[in-house]
Structure 1
């Protein structure tokens, strides 16, 4: 359990990596990447410079950086949904009715247990639905042209945001920050559930009870 918690924390910390110049290992100047908001402009908390203390991104070209930033956005979006789902589950929120017409499992049956036990109560059809939605979203994003790793491509763009460039950059920065915070949040919830007391001062509202 401790190893799993450490893994979550390490993978979460990697979310704060920002691109460095691929030609200078010690550079603190951002490498412009299409579709990524200006790191210095909207990130005053890091001193308005990209933060990569381990120099993990300094040998990547623009295509590699775009790929990793896309992965960060995906992980952040999943973490935001997971955090919201965790809070709803531990407070036993549920919809009315049955989870599907072909099963006797009610939404309230799943909401009555903790997040870990709830996974085991999801019918097989539910997992298929989840995989289908994930596959559809992933497939759609990979088919958008130009591809997000190529010049002119937009990282994380699913076609939902249509606004002025300045507003879009700010929205991208807000989403990235929220996603990073959610990755820390869901990792903290899981750690606190597996190892009681491992996350000091975490309100009982967010833990399994």
Structure 2
């Protein structure tokens, strides 16, 4: 049975071998998609969400010197950025993805890449410049704790980013302003 939801059976692909795996897959993604690919995606989304949370808080007070970049609302700020700049970001992300997987850009090719590199732990890109993982990145207890911490914080960041965007759209008020001047609000239209 699943540790996260004891009334559900644990999916066969989630055997507890990955950090943070507690058998939570109510929609059955792991039966159709390789768990290694799902873990890479979860870690990347968590990292991007962490940057998004920091970015949403910082952009309320610090921005580029142009009226286009002065909107303190996350969704409004995204819409104000010129489309060429957004395409630039998208192109950079695509090139990074291609470089990360050795030019393999679709799911079957990525699975071949994973099979050819079994030493590669999900989300590790060989960038431990400060030596935080303690040398052999796949086997130390410290590395396992840090990976689990990153995974859990990434999950929290994904929830926080979604909540912050929803909150700022619903109330049309910047996030820090809502936190610093908290008062019960009435949801418009309800």
TM-score grouping bracket, smaller chain normalisation: 0.5 to 0.7
Equivalent residue in structure 2 for 1:30, among 9, 15, 18: 15
Distance in 2 between the 1:155 and 1:112 partners?
Answer: 36
1:153 equivalent to 2:127? Answer no
Match of 1:184? 159
Q: Cα RMSD over matched residues?
A: 3.5
How much does 1:206 deviate?
A: 8.3
Count of aligned positions: 154
Structure 1 pair 206/135, CA: closer, same or farther in 2 (3 Å)? Answer: farther
TM-aligned CA deviation for residue 53 of structure 1? 6.5
Deviates most, 183-192 or 151-160: 151-160
Q: CA deviation at 1:64?
A: 0.5
Unaligned runs of 5+ in 1: 1-15, 24-28, 40-48, 98-105, 197-201
Over 6 Å off, 4+ runs: none
Contact 1:82/1:186 (<8 A) preserved: yes
Matched, 1:93 2:54: no
Matches of 2:180 and 2:163, distance apart in 1? 10
Contact 2:75 2:165 in 1 (8 A): no
2:178 alignment counterpart: 204
Q: Give, in angstroms, the shift of residue 76 of structure 1.
A: 0.8
TM-score, normalised via structure 2 length: 0.64
Alignment of 1:2-13 (within 5 A): none
Partner-residue secondary structure (3-state), 2:31: coil
Matches within 5 A, 1:59-138: 59=31, 64-89=34-59, 91-95=60-64, 97=65, 106=66, 109-138=68-97
